[in-house]
């Protein structure tokens, strides 16, 4: 059983199409690292609007995978950007990184086991 996402909900969401799920997981593994790097760069630059924008994009990607913890982490980072106060953002970005890494590793194992 997965710890980082809801397996049953995810399979239902993709109509048990493991090939499609594999493609979407692949897209996540390719597209999320550059977006996360854009979040980090925006935090370093103090660009709250960019933090919110890039974190929102990550949150949307993550939402496809029924992953509550990683989704909440992205939402926290997005909220820091929206508030304009990036004081606690670096720690939140690290949490998002860790949650996203755990999620992608678990998703990759899951689709491999289902293939």
Question: What are the start-end ranges of the H helices in 46-88?
Answer: 48-63, 68-83
What is the number of H-type helices and E-type strands within the chain?
5, 0
User: What pLDDT score does 11 carry?
Assistant: 95
Among 93, 112, 113, CA closest to 32: 93
Q: How many CA atoms lie less than 13 Å away from 44 in the CB half-sphere?
A: 7
pLDDT in tens, 47-63: 999 999 999 999 999 99
pLDDT in tens, 35-92: 999 999 999 999 999 999 999 999 999 999 999 999 999 999 999 999 999 999 999 9
User: What pLDDT score does 3 carry?
Assistant: 86
Residue whose tokens read 């194992």: 109
What is the rounded CA–CA span in Å between residue 115 and residue 24? 14
**Residues 107 and 65 sit within 8 Å (Cβ to Cβ):** yes
Domain 7-110 falls in which CATH fold? 1.20.120
Mean pLDDT of 2-20: 93
**Residues 63 and 13 sit within 8 Å (Cβ to Cβ):** no
1 pLDDT higher than 60: no
What is the rounded CA–CA span in Å between residue 104 and residue 112? 12
Residue whose tokens read 């689709």: 111
User: What pLDDT score does 115 carry?
Assistant: 87
């Amino acid at each position: 059983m997965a710890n980082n996402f809801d397996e049953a909900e995810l399979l239902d969401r993709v109509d048990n199409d493991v090939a499609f799920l594999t493609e979407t997981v692949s897209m996540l593994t390719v597209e999320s690292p550059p977006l996360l790097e854009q979040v980090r760069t925006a935090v370093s630059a103090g660009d709250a609007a960019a933090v919110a924008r890039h974190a929102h994009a990550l949150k949307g990607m993550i939402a496809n995978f029924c992953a509550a913890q990683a989704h909440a982490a992205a939402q926290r980072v997005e909220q820091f950007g929206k508030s304009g106060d990036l004081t606690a953002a670096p720690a939140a970005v690290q949490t998002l990184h860790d949650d996203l890494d755990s999620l992608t590793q678990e998703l990759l194992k899951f689709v491999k086991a289902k293939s």
